[in-house]
Amino acid sequence: MDPDPNKPEELPSNSANNSHGSTHPPSPFPDEVIEKVLSYINSHKDRSSFSLVRKDWYNAERWSRSRLFIGNCYSVTPEIVARRFPRIKSVTLKGKPRFSDFNMLDWGANVHSWLVMFAKVYPFLEELRLKRMTVSDESLELLAKSFPSFKALSLSSCDGFSDSGLKAVASHCRNLTELDIQDSISEDISGTWLSSFPENFATLEVLNFASLNSEISFDALERLVSRCKSLRVLKVNESITLDQLQRLLVLAPQLVELGTGSFLQELTPRQYEDIESAFSNCTSLRVLSGLWEATSLYLPLLYGACFGLTFLNLSDVALQSGEFAKLPVHCPNLRRLWVIDTVEDKGLEAIGSSCPLLEELRVFPANPYELDPRLGVTERGFLAVSQGCRKLRYVLYFCRRMTNAAVITIVQNCPNFTHFRLCIMNPHQPDHLTNEPMDEAFGAVVKTCHKLQRLSVSGLLTDLTFEYIGKYAKNLETLSVAFAGSSDWGMQCVLDGSPKLRKLEIRDCPFGNTALLFGHGKYEMMRSLWMSACNVTIKGCTILAKEMPRLNVEVIKDEDSDDNQADKVYVYRTVAGPRQDAPPFVLTL
């Protein structure tokens, strides 16, 4: 069992007495030894296991834990956390369920009540990392003013904040080393926050504002970069031009990670040379992203910096296959590559030929709503990469056609997949050569890839796929399913097998109450279950909620669905009870 680290577990000691009671055997180790051992244990899962052994170990662990990880902000309350862990310096909090990301629910996961508690009990907080949470300006202002030692703020796929919140952070966090905003969903942030860093502020090491769409003062940025000698990560937004970028690179040749701004600008030969040499001087550069609107005319500017690159993120620039195909040969050390499917199979073949060390490939669709199978990439490109890149272990592949045979070959070439996320974009799409379901493809994946932790399935799939998954995917932790399966049996196979399953997200599948209720014992061992557009009803959910008081069962109904239909169901384990901040469209059963 993988216990939630924040659950106040039933303590194994057989007495509620103090730890020196006569029925409680003395600790085999003195406290100093326990503390020393604990100082080497950093994973929260390991610390959790440690804390379950004995009451005094539980206490030693809770006093020495400094990093907090909460995978579901509703699984526990700030009060419970504060009571158990008195000395936290770093917090990671995740909020909304992933499938809600694709449909913009205004659902909750507001960080404010957490910050209020942290301000009270963790005045020495240094780091806050949030994912899929709502963060208001008020919250950022509270953060900025409450933690004098605050160092690192990371907001990934968060929303709710604007310029004034960021201004507060910039102005008041005197020791800030990291401001990392990824995939922000904020619409209209003006750019004045960047100018709010004090003139003598120089501690920044990480600055990422690539996803904030606003003009910032280049002047302020330039001064900031020149002051911050330890800057190693700089990701600017599209408003920064090429020649501005050149000036920044001259000031910060020590950069390890760079996100460029717009890569389209008419350049004089002199400017071109200057930029080329600026890139060549960045000898520590390992990660490159941005490159908005880059074309084959400007990509060669990068060549001087490509040799050492380990991660190239081209998901912001739709390169055509011809333009892109010349690039991989300059990047022999690439481990991770993200591209848009405009590079087509030909581009992927170039990767297969030139990047033998590649471990991760993500191919995003340029136009996700276009169903024409001639667009984008196919099984050919995936095959080509698998042939040349035998170390591949992470793939996210959006395509419009695939075959069982290709996938079988791919996993034979690359048996070390830990993350296999295949998205055949047309729902229910069969093998395009044989017209059969894609069951054998995913069967091969789970049979061959013993280390598989994360799997997303797609295409026409019957219950057989899920039989395979339940039977073979022994290390699977996250499973995403859409438009698949034939009956409840499919979901039951997964719930019955897959002992390490933590997150299950399902949409548009013919799974109903029988399957939902079959897993009732399992859900407490998991972080969460998401089911939308399936055959689950409110009655079924109510039964589940009644039987399992330590699960929250939340239902969101669509506007025009019939009364008993549970259109979106989110089930998660919690020690916090039903949440108090659910918006009116969320029914907590």
Partner 1 sequence: MSLNNQLESEYSGSLKTELTLGLPGGAQAPKSAVKRGFSDTVDLNLYTNSEDEVNVATHTQPPPAKGQVVGWPPVRSYMKKKMMTVNCKYVKVAVDGAPYLRKLDLQIYTSYKELLVAFQNMFTCLTICNVIANESKIVDISNGTEYLPAYEDKDGDWMLVGDVPWNMFVESCKRLRLIKSCEKLKLMKSSASLETSSSTSC
Q: Could you list the residues that contact partner 1 (CB under 8 A)?
A: 99, 101-104, 157, 183-185, 211, 315-316, 318, 340, 342, 364-372, 398, 423, 425, 427-428, 456, 480, 482-483, 507-508, 510, 512-514, 517-518, 520, 533, 535, 537, 539-540, 543-544, 547, 560, 564-565
Q: Looking at beta carbons only, is 80 or 264 nearer to partner 1?
A: 264
Angle at 31 between CA 25 and CA 33, to 5 degrees: 110
Complete DSSP assignment for 413-463: H-TT-SEEEEEESSTT---TTT---SHHHHHHHHHH-TT--EEE--SS--H
Residue pair 6/81 in contact (Cβ under 8 Å)? The answer is yes
Q: Cα separation of 37 and 400, whole Å? A: 52
Cα–Cα distances (Å) from 526 to 38, 380, 390, in that order, read: 26, 36, 32
Closest contact distance (angstroms) between CB of 451 and partner 1 is: 23
Helix axes 163-172, 137-146, angle to 10 degrees: 10
Q: Looking at beta carbons only, is 86 or 368 nearer to partner 1?
A: 368
Residue pair 421/480 in contact (Cβ under 8 Å)? The answer is yes
Q: Looking at beta carbons only, is 191 or 365 nearer to partner 1?
A: 365
Closest contact distance (angstroms) between CB of 305 and partner 1 is: 23
Closest contact distance (angstroms) between CB of 558 and partner 1 is: 9
Which segments within 8-148 are labelled E, that is strand?
67-70, 90-94, 127-131
Closest contact distance (angstroms) between CB of 75 and partner 1 is: 23
Length of the chain: 589
Q: Looking at beta carbons only, is 114 or 364 nearer to partner 1?
A: 364
Contacts of 212 (CB under 8 A, 6+ apart): 181, 184, 186, 189, 191, 237
Q: Looking at beta carbons only, is 238 or 467 nearer to partner 1?
A: 238
Closest contact distance (angstroms) between CB of 140 and partner 1 is: 19
Residue type, 503: K
Q: Looking at beta carbons only, is 168 or 319 nearer to partner 1?
A: 319
Q: Cα separation of 527 and 504, whole Å? A: 9
Residue pair 153/179 in contact (Cβ under 8 Å)? The answer is yes
Q: Looking at beta carbons only, is 256 or 548 nearer to partner 1?
A: 548
The three-state secondary structure class of 242 is helix
Closest contact distance (angstroms) between CB of 54 and partner 1 is: 36
Q: Looking at beta carbons only, is 125 or 425 nearer to partner 1?
A: 425
Closest contact distance (angstroms) between CB of 543 and partner 1 is: 6
Residue pair 279/249 in contact (Cβ under 8 Å)? The answer is yes
The three-state secondary structure class of 62 is helix
Name the token pair of 247.
Answer: 């000036």
Q: Looking at beta carbons only, is 341 or 477 nearer to partner 1?
A: 341
What residues pair up with 337 in beta bridges, in sequence order? Answer: 312, 361
Closest contact distance (angstroms) between CB of 352 and partner 1 is: 24
